[in-house]
Structure 1
Amino acid sequence: MPLRTIAATRYVTPLREGGSMPAVIEADDQGMYVLKFRGAGQGPKALIAELVAGGIARALGLPVPEIVLAELDPDLARTEGDPEIQHLIRASAGLNLALDYLPGAVNFDPVAEQPSPDLASRIVWFDAYVSNVDRTARNTNLLMWHRQLYLIDHGAALYFHHGWDGRTAGADKPFVLIKDHVLLPWAATLAQADAEAAAKLDRDVIAGVVSQIPDAWLDSEDAFAEPAEQRGAYVDYLVLRLAQRAAFVQEAIRART
């Protein structure tokens, strides 16, 4: 399903616990969203990771807040007293990414909550697939909202694309950092999760997600002649990683035992 595009109409409040200082905004559809800024220190690659990883998670049926594209008018900076926020808004003028705001959601507590083995295994599989380094006990990036677990903050996933030359080297490697995954102790059905995920993902699904990356977020690195080539490289990498998934699945099973 194509991503909706909204326009930010009001900057509400910063979320300073995030490394890139996302913010709660109000949009022209009267909804509230968590905006991820293109002009933040991690740059547009964090937004690409958020879009691609989040889109794959949704294709797998995992609970992720709605992802939208968000137009940001630099004039919103005029009403902000904080110079850092003013700079961030102006540096992010144009197309950004946002997620549906979940009012009243609380951080997942691995002591108080007991996720099902099925859900835990599906999330561990997904994070190993997209190489998400940011789902640990120290920083779970999981929310509880209306008694349901939600996955957030995938900007640190797909770390292969930093300094990337467009090749698929490394797509077949295990994800050794899965040993630190907060849900690994509950992930008792990884083999079943692997079979289910493989049945839901293929080149067409992956290409559909990647096709939604805006041109403005794709850089002019020498490795890519045009945005279409860069999108194709993402698809090739993720398709190969899916085909070679035994490496990261076995690593997760080994880490758990």
Structure 2
Amino acid sequence: MRYVTPLREGGSLPALAEADDDFLYVLKFRGAGQGAKALIAELIAGETARLLGLRVPEIVFAQLDEAFGRTEPDEEIQDLLKASTGLNLALHYLSGAITFDPLVTQVDARLASQIVWLDCLMTNVDRTARNTNMLIWHKELWLIDHGAALYFHHTGGSWEEHARRPFVQVKDHVLLPQASELEAVDAEFRAVLTPSRIEAIVGLVPDEWLMDEPSSAGPSEMSPADRRQMYVQFLTTRLSVSEVFVNAAQHARKSLV
């Protein structure tokens, strides 16, 4: 209902906005540089994290009217808002939260392993010391900003090829030094992420986001149902060979500690 302020920390120019339920949300725009794919990744990775027991702000769908943000003087942001009319994504604003600092807050081995495992599964390249994408809110660790996950849908090649690869970027993960329980977490999380649960999470993705633009990981003529199935198959395949990314993470950790 009300555009409060742009959040200029990220390249996608999210905004703080007030919705018709009187709550504040961090609004992610489909008209931003990565398009609907960033919203798809945010939704799938965020809800998967929530299912696994990790703390993620409530994720909601946000409908933008053409008049939204009309008073914004920045022409770049005006263009972004015009390109985002319709269905977007938002996360509940954690008022008063502070950015996670690994030098200030110690994360225990189990939680660190859970987060590293999730990011390896989702191929989330954006949880580094430079940009942790984690917040401390009410003395608890919360995960935010998963738009850079599932990056296979931005690249060439088949999803099958990407699904079976190790996650080499794990070497830069901010919590990797503490992640000493990856094998135990792997067994636990594989039992939770059944095919039916993965299908349910991917099923939350709106059809219109799956039609926004062709995927580099699949033919341009794919239907929304086909694209949705591509994400399901990517995740189920990746889970079936999870030892590949677990072993890669353990190897990268040994070189650090």
Q: Under a length normalisation based on structure 2, what TM-score does the superposition of the two structures give?
A: 0.94
Task: Return the offset for 1:256.
Answer: 0.9
Are the counterparts in 2 of residues 224 and 230 from structure 1 also a CA contact under 8 Å? no
> What is the alpha-carbon distance in structure 1 between the residues aligned to residue 174 and residue 143 of structure 2?
12
In structure 1, what is the equivalent of residue 224 of structure 2?
227
In structure 2, what is the equivalent of residue 48 of structure 1?
40
In structure 1, what is the equivalent of residue 245 of structure 2?
248
User: SS of the residue aligned with 1:138?
Assistant: coil
In structure 2, what is the equivalent of residue 138 of structure 1?
130
Residues 42 and 150 of structure 1: CA distance in aligned 2, closer, same or farther (over 3 Å): same
> What is the alpha-carbon distance in structure 2 between the residues aligned to residue 139 and residue 172 of structure 1?
26
> What is the alpha-carbon distance in structure 1 between the residues aligned to residue 19 and residue 231 of structure 2?
30
Amino acid across the alignment from 1:93: T
User: SS of the residue aligned with 1:114?
Assistant: coil
The equivalent position to 2:54 in structure 1, one of 59, 62, 68, is 62
User: SS of the residue aligned with 1:169?
Assistant: helix
Task: Return the offset for 1:150.
Answer: 0.5
> What is the alpha-carbon distance in structure 1 between the residues aligned to residue 135 and residue 118 of structure 2?
17
Q: What is the RMSD computed on CA atoms of the aligned residues?
A: 1.2
Q: How does 1:55-204 map to 2 (within 5 A)?
A: 55-163=47-155, 167-204=159-196
Residues 164 and 230 of structure 1: CA distance in aligned 2, closer, same or farther (over 3 Å): farther
Task: Return the offset for 1:164.
Answer: 5.4
Are the counterparts in 1 of residues 116 and 179 from structure 2 also a CA contact under 8 Å? yes
Are the counterparts in 2 of residues 166 and 230 from structure 1 also a CA contact under 8 Å? no
In structure 2, what is the equivalent of residue 4 of structure 1?
none
Task: Return the offset for 1:86.
Answer: 1.5
Task: Return the offset for 1:49.
Answer: 0.6
Amino acid across the alignment from 1:61: G
User: SS of the residue aligned with 2:70?
Assistant: helix
User: SS of the residue aligned with 2:21?
Assistant: coil
User: SS of the residue aligned with 2:55?
Assistant: coil
Misfit runs of 4+, over 6 Å: none
Q: How far does the alpha carbon of each residue in 1:175-231 deviate from its partner, in whole angstroms, 9 at most, with x for none? A: 011011000111111111111111110111111111111111113534443101110
> What is the alpha-carbon distance in structure 2 between the residues aligned to residue 224 and residue 185 of structure 1?
43
Are the counterparts in 2 of residues 166 and 224 from structure 1 also a CA contact under 8 Å? no
* Alignment pair present for 1:33 and 2:25: yes
> What is the alpha-carbon distance in structure 1 between the residues aligned to residue 68 and residue 220 of structure 2?
36
User: SS of the residue aligned with 2:136?
Assistant: strand
Q: How far does the alpha carbon of each residue in 1:102-142 deviate from its partner, in whole angstroms, 9 at most, with x for none? A: 00111101001001111000000000010000000001001
Are the counterparts in 1 of residues 107 and 178 from structure 2 also a CA contact under 8 Å? yes
Q: Under a length normalisation based on structure 1, what TM-score does the superposition of the two structures give?
A: 0.94
> What is the alpha-carbon distance in structure 2 between the residues aligned to residue 225 and residue 160 of structure 1?
16
Are the counterparts in 1 of residues 165 and 245 from structure 2 also a CA contact under 8 Å? yes
In structure 2, what is the equivalent of residue 6 of structure 1?
none
Task: Return the offset for 1:84.
Answer: 1.8
Are the counterparts in 1 of residues 2 and 69 from structure 2 also a CA contact under 8 Å? no
The equivalent position to 1:237 in structure 2, one of 234, 252, 255, is 234
Where structure 1 has 5 or more consecutive residues not aligned to the other structure, the ranges are 1-8
Amino acid across the alignment from 1:105: A
Number of aligned positions between the proteins: 249
> What is the alpha-carbon distance in structure 1 between the residues aligned to residue 234 and residue 55 of structure 2?
24
> What is the alpha-carbon distance in structure 2 between the residues aligned to residue 49 and residue 177 of structure 1?
17
In structure 2, what is the equivalent of residue 211 of structure 1?
203
User: SS of the residue aligned with 2:161?
Assistant: coil
